[in-house]
Amino acid sequence: MKNTSPKLNWVIGAGVVGADIGTSVFYGTGILFPIVGYLAPIFVITACIMMWAFKKTYEEGLALSPYNGGAYSMILRTVGRRMAVLAGALTFVSYLATASVSALSGGYYLVSLIGGNGGTANQMAVWISFIPIFLFGLLNTRGIKEPAKLVTMIAGAHFLLLLIMGLWGLGYLAVSYDEIQWSKMSQLTPSGELNLSMLMYGFAAAFLGITGFESAAQIVEELEQPTMLTVRRLYRTVILLVSITAPLISILCLSILTRQEVDTNLNSLLSALASKLGGRVLMSLIVVDATLTLFAAVNTAFVGFIGLATTMAKQGNLPQFLLKRVAHIYPSIQGYPLIALPFAVIASLMSAFVAGEVEIVAKVYEIAFLGVMVSFCVGVILMRNKFQKKGVLNRCSPYLSKWLLVTEKGSIPVVPLLSAMVLGFATMTLMLHANEHVMLMLETLLGATVIAMAYYRWGVLENRLEKRSDLRLGIGKFASMKDLPEDLPKYILCTGGTAARHLINQAIRKILKERKDPFELIIFHAEDGKDPEGFFFELLQRVVSQQIAPIYKEDFILTVKILPGSLSEGLQTLKKTYDFETVMFGMGRDPVAGHELAEQIRQELGVEVIQLS
């Protein structure tokens, strides 16, 4: 049943993305201070400036590939399925770590308010972390819009509180300027040293403040039309809010708090600042805000995971049963319960296992997140160069980089290239500074995810190979040949309906009318999860061998080809196997949708597309 729920407008989209990025003020300066000391605000500002380049990169990528899946979809359409699955697995790990770390961190904040220490605090935080995980798991079974509204309200209240605190802090600075110990900044770093290695590490660590930036790429198909205008507005809103609040709060924390207060409260600098500005009341308010905002970030993980998982399932890289919905039985459940609920169970188990080791999982999350963004940037570069060769960039021109590096093999957009280099450097730097426990967990989670996906995919392909083999028939002079030639001009006919015989005859007559020399017609059927037992494929083989082949005497070859996955993905695979310049398919019942599909195929493959009536 098709989901007819309204699309997300830019305000709600900004709430979903901003809920995750907005949590950076709770830990960003605390992470940077031990590395670069009082220079931390400069690195926070640098990350905020770079977000504008990332915004341009993501706008360009989503204009070229306006489909859910983010880096996975970009890599799939340029490099292929194997690397795309790896990008998808990395994204899965990122969202899984996001959910568990955010829920646990929110739990610890709440425990700090109500009391608790040591092992008791860990147990309380774990039990509390289950609340947002299962709450958003259940809410997302109703569709992504309902929880997104709740998250948007939390994110809006969070940024409003930060702005108020910022103004309050500036007022405090103006009134108490002479009482602040400015001499503490004479020693810039805790160690008293400052070298290139520390600056590089600080630069890399600063990008932890933009976690969640890629979330919009997982829900682009759910955004309100015109999609790219919605994307532009939501990113602009989030970046403006973060660019104002994050540096301001960082400056205020390091200016107003004494050196001892900073060292004592590295994990909760914002709470310490609130306590100094407004006492226990404001501190309690900040703790509640931190708890709710971190809990809201759990929903960002759900939204991103659901968007990616549905895309991968539709393309055959995850089991089709994940797409099963029950809206026809329970109209209020418009989402994907078999994706949302298992994710909630896995995230809650991870929260239970890593309690007391949140820092390790947080590092895994950081590396995985930046790796996902690097993959997206690389995908944009490949996609832009691929489309540039085909001259089909006019549709996306308002969102494309104007600065290009022109080489003999093509052109490289400068902004995505710069983004990829910066993020790649940050990722490698964090990996070099990560301890063995972090790398072990990252390798374990990523390896287990890839193996699970590969095992499922191999099973699909093995089942198909056991039950179905391609049919290849020679007509005319090729009928008596044992080894059919492979170098004939090739045409692709896409068919998947009951009118296959009429469509095949029409395609053959059209080709025979245009050429007299031999050719090969490949009759292609994309399963797309709709024919798991191969009934249509067997029917198609019988139609071709029993009803089509006997009535022609001209010299050509008929091939019946079936591939799992979507039509677009199947054609991409065929293009790597066969050298063809023409794709044909029927108009179908919806001519408008047929024309849109033809344009999409023409852009992606750079081939002639013929629609048969």
Retrieve residue 95's tokens.
């969202």
Same domain for 128 and 197, yes or no, is yes
Q: Which residues contact 449 (CB under 8 A, 6 or more apart)?
A: 89, 92, 93
Confidence check: pLDDT of 536 > 60: yes
The lowest-confidence range among 6-15, 238-247, 386-395, 518-527 is: 386-395
Q: What percent of the chain has pLDDT over 90?
A: 31
Same domain for 239 and 368, yes or no, is yes
User: Residue 466: its pLDDT value, please?
Assistant: 46
Confidence check: pLDDT of 526 > 60: yes
CATH number at residue 239: 1.20.1740.10
Domain boundary pick from 432, 452, 484? 432
Highest mean pLDDT among 34-43, 265-274, 497-506: 34-43
Task: Residue 162: name the closest of 99, 98, 101, 250 by CA.
Answer: 250
Give the tens place of pLDDT for each residue, 379-397.
Answer: 888 888 776 655 555 566 6
Q: Measured over all CA atoms, what is the biggest interatomic distance in the chain, rounded to whole angstroms?
A: 99
CATH number at residue 580: 3.40.50.620
Same domain for 474 and 419, yes or no, is no
Please check whether residue 137 lies inside any domain of the structure. yes
Question: What is the rounded average pLDDT of the residues 239-249?
Answer: 93
Residue 407 identity = T
Look-up of token digits 């009134």: 175
Between CA 83 and CA 310 the distance in angstroms is 18
DSSP three-state, residue 531 = coil
User: Residue 388: its pLDDT value, please?
Assistant: 60
Average predicted confidence (pLDDT) for the chain: 85
Domain boundary pick from 386, 403, 432? 432
User: Residue 4: its pLDDT value, please?
Assistant: 46
Confidence check: pLDDT of 528 > 80: no
Confidence check: pLDDT of 98 > 60: yes
Please check whether residue 387 lies inside any domain of the structure. yes
User: What DSSP state is assigned to residue 546?
Assistant: I
Please check whether residue 446 lies inside any domain of the structure. no
Domain boundary pick from 373, 403, 432? 432
Please check whether residue 258 lies inside any domain of the structure. no
Give the tens place of pLDDT for each residue, 445-472.
Answer: 888 888 877 777 666 655 554 445 678 9
Question: What is the rounded average pLDDT of the residues 190-211?
Answer: 86
Assign 404 a pLDDT band (cuts: 50, 70, 90). Answer: confident
Assign 113 a pLDDT band (cuts: 50, 70, 90). Answer: confident
Same domain for 246 and 105, yes or no, is yes
327 or 303, greater pLDDT: 303
Residue 456 identity = Y
Assign 1 a pLDDT band (cuts: 50, 70, 90). Answer: very low
Confidence check: pLDDT of 8 > 90: no
Retrieve residue 90's tokens.
């990395």
Same domain for 380 and 491, yes or no, is no
Same domain for 391 and 509, yes or no, is no
Q: How many domains does the chain have?
A: 2
Give the tens place of pLDDT for each residue, 568-583.
Answer: 778 877 887 888 889 9
Please check whether residue 456 lies inside any domain of the structure. no
Same domain for 154 and 226, yes or no, is yes
Same domain for 221 and 370, yes or no, is yes
Highest mean pLDDT among 80-89, 397-406, 554-563, 572-581: 554-563
Retrieve residue 547's tokens.
């009803």
Same domain for 412 and 275, yes or no, is yes
Please check whether residue 545 lies inside any domain of the structure. yes
The Cα-based distances of 408 to 190, 385, 386, 389, 412 in angstroms read 50, 12, 14, 12, 11
Q: Which residues contact 156 (CB under 8 A, 6 or more apart)?
A: 15
Same domain for 427 and 481, yes or no, is no
Q: Is 412 left (phi over 0), alpha (psi -120 to 50) or beta?
A: beta
Give the tens place of pLDDT for each residue, 274-307.
Answer: 989 988 899 899 999 989 999 999 999 999 999 9
Between CA 213 and CA 207 the distance in angstroms is 10
Confidence check: pLDDT of 153 > 90: yes
Please check whether residue 490 lies inside any domain of the structure. yes
Retrieve residue 94's tokens.
């990122």
DSSP three-state, residue 450 = helix
Question: Is the Cβ–Cβ distance between 239 and 24 less than 8 Å?
Answer: no
Q: Counting beta carbons within 10 angstroms of the beta carbon of residue 325, is it exposed (0 to 12), middle (13 to 18) or buried (19 or more)?
A: middle
Question: What is the rounded average pLDDT of the residues 92-109?
Answer: 88
The lowest-confidence range among 37-46, 90-99, 400-409 is: 400-409
Q: What is the domain extent for residue 603?
A: 469-612
User: Residue 457: its pLDDT value, please?
Assistant: 67
User: Residue 152: its pLDDT value, please?
Assistant: 94
Same domain for 393 and 324, yes or no, is yes
User: What DSSP state is assigned to residue 223?
Assistant: B
The lowest-confidence range among 138-152, 161-175, 178-192 is: 178-192
In this prediction the pTM is: 0.78
Same domain for 27 and 73, yes or no, is yes
The lowest-confidence range among 32-36, 116-120, 214-218, 554-558 is: 116-120
Please check whether residue 439 lies inside any domain of the structure. no
Q: What percent of the chain has pLDDT over 70?
A: 91
Between CA 180 and CA 46 the distance in angstroms is 26
Retrieve residue 115's tokens.
């009391």
Q: In terms of C-beta distances under 8 Å and separation of at least 24 residues, what long-range contacts does 563-566 make, across chains too? A: 563/524, 563/525, 563/526, 563/527, 564/316, 564/460, 564/461, 564/464, 564/526, 564/527, 564/528, 564/529, 565/315, 565/316, 565/526, 565/527, 565/528, 566/314, 566/315, 566/316, 566/526, 566/528
Assign 42 a pLDDT band (cuts: 50, 70, 90). Answer: very high
Strands 490-494 and 404-406: unpaired
141 or 411, greater pLDDT: 141
